[in-house]
Copies of this chain bind each other. A is one copy, B any other.
């Protein structure tokens, strides 16, 4: 069809492979997360809580680049599952503290094997160690740059 504007071809965009990879990767996690009865974004919140313990909605958001408009409903769902509790901070009533329940903490034991299970799904992929290292590093750099850019008002 249109050969005059290759810059608009799907395969020449950086954005699309990122969008595709992100969604496909999430789908790989789906069957594993089903065992935990959580969604992928809920899993990310749990990762943050397992790693850093009790913290504010904003703190979780700054880890995951999400805001209260997304987090509040998500946290309410995790609260309904009794994986965490939300409470107003005493020293500042604006702040909501999020803390794992014992059952939320315990769920970590079921989650520890997930990274290895995901890695196993890639075990047969022939990818140069070196190229993968470059990939991870460049991706991290990209995220950093994008974060900077998005904060510029």
Total identical chains: 2
Does the CB pair B10–A48 fall under 8 Å? Answer: yes
Of the residues B9, B16, B51, B125, contact of A9 by C-beta under 8 Å = B51
A75 to chain B, nearest CB (A): 17
Report the contact-size class of chain A (Cβ under 8 Å from the partner).
35 or more
Of the residues B13, B121, B125, contact of A47 by C-beta under 8 Å = B13
Given A22-B18, A48-B10, answer yes or no on A137-B131 (Cβ-Cβ < 8 Å).
yes
| List of 5 A-B pairs having minimum Cβ-Cβ separation, nearest first | A24-B146, A22-B22, A135-B138, A7-B115, A18-B22
Q: Footprint of B on A, CB under 8 Å?
A: 1-2, 5, 7-10, 12-29, 40, 44, 47-48, 50-53, 63-65, 108, 111-112, 114-116, 118, 121-122, 125, 127, 131-132, 134-143, 145-147, 149-150
